[in-house]
């Protein structure tokens, strides 16, 4: 629901000092001190004012300064009745100064009360207060009525202009605060996304490496239970040690990737295929560098698919196809099928699930399931 313009307070940002430049503050204080000095001088040097009246006038001017400060504080806190009461006290003090012959301080107070009411109070409350102050000024002013009317109109416009200027400054302060909050939220979101990416990368590297080691260690355990010869068991242990070494290399590669130092994708896949017997690779399309996240996704899916092929179809031929297309890159890993190995039940399907989530985060897809001969894993990533 839209707030009523007549009863709406100027915002606290508009009534406060925040956003006011240093030179502007110095100028405002200089004007206040100049007016205060002029009023005090008028109170003590008017030839018609002597003795106690002059002292009373000086005290009245100082009291007016205190009331004005209190008025600024209560309006800043949006306290209507105390603000109206302080403004009324200032008007009464001006009338008292006028009564003892201090016309200049009285006129300044009436005009100041009117302008401040228009600037700092809701219009429905400030307009009547300003009307009373301007009426008192008109009665005390000795100029012709047209001149007085022009002066009053100019001061009313000045008060409203000050109100608009303050509200514009307050709006600018609120927009600046919102922009800073939005930037802070954006920076926090980017930091969280980067942390998630790093965590996902480290998890995928460790999951692949440890899963591969588990395959060979489980095989060694089965061989020991069956009483296999020493050479067969040693072969599995050495393979597990090799997987640990490879996992360390992959960890280093992941750290390099996080730093933006990636080896070419084709080179990585060729080295990966070289480690697996009976695996061949084909690269189609115009080769081009990929974004770091897309490149890492292709690498991790290839590793996971080859590991699954060794687990579920040992000895099967595996074909890896990497295709660069106009708007996406496709990785296809398929095996020729075969009898499930002894380690088919080792581990779970969490690897492919993680790869599918990684692909979907990039707007791509991962399909895994039986093919014409064996098992097929197909990854599509937009680039």
Helix (H, G, I), strand (E, B) or coil at 222: helix
Q: What is the C-alpha separation between 367 and 266, in angstroms, rounded?
A: 22
Q: What pLDDT was estimated at residue 330?
A: 93
Give the CA count within 13 Å in the CB-facing half-sphere of 235.
7
State the burial class of residue 25 (Cβ atoms within 10 Å of its Cβ: 0-12, 13-18, 19+): exposed
Distance CA 303, CA 289 (A): 20
Which of 339, 281, 275, 350 minimizes the C-alpha distance to 311?
A: 339
What pLDDT, on the 0 to 100 scale, is given for residue 366? 92
Q: What is the dihedral of CA 293, 296, 297, 300, to 10 degrees?
A: -160
Q: What stretches in the chain show pLDDT beneath 70? A: 1-3, 18-22, 24-25, 27-29, 31-58, 194, 197, 201, 204-205, 208, 250, 253-262, 276-278, 338-351
CA distance 313 to 333: 13
103-120 and 145-225 are packed helices; what angle lies between their axes, rounded to 10 degrees?
A: 40
Beta carbons within 8 Å of 43's beta carbon, 6+ residues apart: 49, 54, 57, 58, 60, 61, 102, 105
**Which residue shows structure tokens 């109170």?**
43
List, for residues 92-148, the tens digit of each pLDDT value: 888 887 887 777 778 888 888 888 888 888 988 889 999 998 888 888 877 778 888
**Count of H-run helices and E-run strands, the chain:** 11, 5
Q: What is the rounded average pLDDT for all residues in the chain?
A: 79
331: nearest Cα among 277, 278, 285: 285
Note the pLDDT of residue 323: 92
| Cβ count near 254 (within 10 Å) | 20
* 365: three-class secondary structure by DSSP: strand
Q: What is the reported pLDDT for 312?
A: 76
The radius of gyration of the chain from alpha carbons, rounded to an integer in Å, stands at 42
Residue with structure tokens 């110095």? 26
Q: Rounded to whole angstroms, how far apart are CA atoms 313 and 311? A: 6
Domains in the chain with CATH codes: 12-142 (no CATH), 264-383 (3.30.565.10)
pLDDT in tens, 149-189: 888 888 888 888 888 888 888 888 888 888 888 888 888 88
* Angle formed at CA 377 by CA 373 and CA 379, multiple of 5 degrees: 145
Determine the pLDDT at residue 2: 47
For residue 35, the model assigns a pLDDT of 60
Cα(187)–Cα(190) distance, integer angstroms: 5
d(CA 157, CA 170): 20
With 0-12 CB in 10 A as exposed, 13-18 as middle and 19+ as buried, what is 342? middle
Q: Are 290 and 340 in contact (CB under 8 A)?
A: no
Q: Are 335 and 316 in contact (CB under 8 A)?
A: yes
46, 54 in Cβ contact below 8 A?
A: yes
38: tokens are 């002029």
């Amino acid at each position: 629901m839209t707030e009523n313009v007549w009863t709406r307070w100027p915002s606290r940002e508009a009534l406060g000092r925040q956003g006011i430049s240093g030179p502007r503050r110095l100028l405002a204080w200089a004007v206040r001190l100049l007016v205060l000095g002029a009023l005090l001088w008028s109170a003590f040097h008017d030839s018609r004012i002597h003795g106690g009246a002059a002292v009373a006038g000086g005290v009245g001017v100082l009291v007016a300064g205190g009331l004005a400060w209190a008025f600024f504080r209560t309006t800043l806190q949006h306290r209507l009745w105390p603000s109206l009461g302080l403004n009324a006290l200032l008007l009464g003090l001006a009338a008292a100064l006028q009564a003892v012959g201090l016309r200049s301080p009285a006129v300044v107070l009436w005009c100041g009360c009117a302008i401040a009411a228009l600037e700092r109070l809701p219009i429905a409350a400030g307009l009547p207060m300003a009307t009373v102050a301007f009426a008192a000024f008109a009665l005390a002013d000795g100029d012709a009525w047209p001149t007085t009317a022009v002066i009053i109109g100019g001061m009313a416009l000045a008060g409203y202009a000050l109100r608009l200027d303050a509200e514009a400054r307050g709006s600018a302060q609120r927009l600046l605060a919102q922009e800073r909050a939005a930037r802070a939220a954006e920076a926090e979101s980017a930091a969280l996304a980067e942390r998630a990416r790093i965590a996902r990368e480290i998890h995928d590297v460790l999951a692949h490496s440890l899963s591969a080691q588990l395959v060979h260690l489980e095989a060694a355990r089965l061989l020991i239970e069956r009483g296999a010869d020493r050479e067969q068991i040693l072969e599995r242990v050495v393979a597990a040690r090799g997987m640990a070494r490879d996992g360390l290399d992959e960890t280093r590669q992941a750290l390099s990737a996080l730093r933006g130092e990636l080896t070419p994708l084709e080179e990585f896949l060729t080295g990966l295929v070289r480690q697996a017997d009976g695996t061949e690779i084909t690269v189609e399309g115009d080769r081009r560098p990929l974004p770091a996240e897309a490149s890492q996704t292709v690498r991790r899916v290839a590793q996971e698919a080859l590991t699954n092929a060794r687990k579920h179809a040992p000895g099967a031929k595996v074909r890896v196809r990497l295709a660069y297309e106009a708007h996406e890159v496709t990785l296809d890993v398929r095996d020729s099928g075969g009898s499930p190995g002894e380690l088919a039940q080792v581990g779970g399907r969490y690897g492919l699930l993680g790869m599918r989530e990684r692909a979907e985060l990039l707007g791509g897809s991962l399909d895994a399931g039986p093919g014409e001969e064996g098992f097929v894993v197909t990854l599509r990533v937009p680039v």
